[in-house]
Amino acid sequence: MKNFNFLIYNSKKFSNDTSKDIFGSLKSLKSGNSNNEINMGIRLNSDTPSSNENYQRYMKLITGNKEYVAEKMKENPDYFRNLAKTQTPKYLLIGCSDSRVPPNEITKTNPGEISLLRNIANQVNHSDLNCMSVIQYAVENLGINHIIVMGHTHCGGIKAANEKKYLGLIQQWLTPIKDMAIQNKDELLNQTDKVDFIERLTEINVKMQCLNVCKTPFVQKAWKEGRDINVSGWLMDIETGLIKDLTITNEEWNDIKSVYDYNF
């Protein structure tokens, strides 16, 4: 029996291609008028042993998906047909990429209930087009009424930001967390040890990202239109599995609102 050998990508440079755009290049390839070719897909390789550890780990995901579908179909034969019709989530959750913090599982919610955005250390960066696009779409198109920023204990991003080790490109992503540490140095220096310091910095990070959500024009415009959109900050404790509401208050936004407020 042949086994999947994952995704094989092989391309030759378009050195002889005279087309002026990608559409022309692809048409040329399809018609066979070019000496160049692109082979992209899954290669079947009978030499790959079924006991290969990486392969087994990969197939565990495929098998798990089939089991998941079977369970859902047993509960409701129309489950996926209904899911495909539309999505009407009431929440947007901005969380960390950490594999130990799966939003749907820890909140016991189903697909379609929470719109998700995840990145390292749950950042809401206004220069991040992905993040801004997700927030805009959630507010203006999905009509969500609650945005949640969720951090977690033992966050590798927060720990990395605290260290001085050079990490390459990721260091630029973590720089705002270092800035937060400087801005809140008096409070952070009151912590008794490094563990407490990291935990408090994690909480401050969540609150700052909540304020960054409030600064977006999409949320502010919705508020001025009378929409009831709430912004909340959570901290998930990995050691207990429990979520702590960090109680972001209106006063915290009102203190800086005049600087970031838009005139629509």
Active site residue 43: no
Residues 132/126, Cβ–Cβ less than 8 Å? yes
Please name the residue that has the structure tokens 């550890």.
53
Active site residue 96: yes
Contacts (Cβ under 8 Å, ≥6 apart) of 41: 7, 8
Catalytic residue among 47, 57, 78, 98: 98
Catalytic residue among 131, 155, 210, 214: 155
Catalytic residue among 17, 78, 96, 128: 96
Rg of the chain over CA atoms, in angstroms? 24
Catalytic residue among 43, 100, 126, 227: 100
In this structure, what token pair is assigned to residue 223? 């508020």
Active site residue 210: no
Long-range contacts, stretch 152-155, CB < 8 angstroms, 24+ apart: 152/95, 152/96, 152/98, 152/100, 152/101, 152/202, 152/235, 152/236, 152/237, 152/238, 153/199, 153/202, 153/235, 153/236, 153/237, 153/238, 153/239, 154/238, 154/239, 155/96, 155/98, 155/121, 155/198, 155/202
Say which DSSP state 263 is in: -
Active site residue 118: no
Which residues share a beta bridge with 150? Answer: 95, 234
Catalytic residue among 17, 126, 146, 152: 152
Active site residue 21: no
SS3 category, 9:
strand
How many other C-beta atoms can be found within 10 angstroms of the C-beta atom of residue 206? Answer: 26
Contacts (Cβ under 8 Å, ≥6 apart) of 7: 40, 41, 42
Rounded distance, CA 41 to CA 38, Å? 10
In this structure, what token pair is assigned to residue 196? 């407490």
Q: Which residues are catalytic?
A: 96, 98, 100, 152, 155
